[in-house]
Amino acid sequence: MRYAYTPHGVCSRQIQVEVEDGIVKEAKFIGGCNGNTKGICSLVQGMPVDEVIQRLENIKCGSRPTSCPDQLAKALKAAKEA
């Protein structure tokens, strides 16, 4: 299943995820810090969705209450509910 999520409170404009049988097949950020978001996407590829959520949820970016990794966790939660 492919899912597009609009993040809030971060520089990226969209997060696209593909999940199959509870595994992250692909993740892609539109906008944001290019190298960092590519690194995150590479690391989570092939991981179970629940593990990605557990590891990335509630990570902050400086003084912001969220971050791109936290928003990816939110995107995956939303994809699970879709």
Which amino acid, 49? Answer: V
Taking the CA atoms of 37, 40, 45 and 49 in sequence, report the sign of the dihedral they define: negative
Confidence of residue 71 (pLDDT cuts 50, 70, 90): very high
Put simply, whether the predicted model's pTM sits higher than 0.85 gets the answer yes
- Residue 10 class from Cβ within 10 Å (0-12 exposed, 13-18 middle, 19+ buried)? buried
Q: What is the per-residue pLDDT across 7-66, written as a single tens digit (0 to 9) for each?
A: 999 999 999 999 999 999 999 999 999 999 999 999 999 999 999 999 999 999 999 999
Confidence of residue 1 (pLDDT cuts 50, 70, 90): very high
The pLDDT of residue 53 is: 98
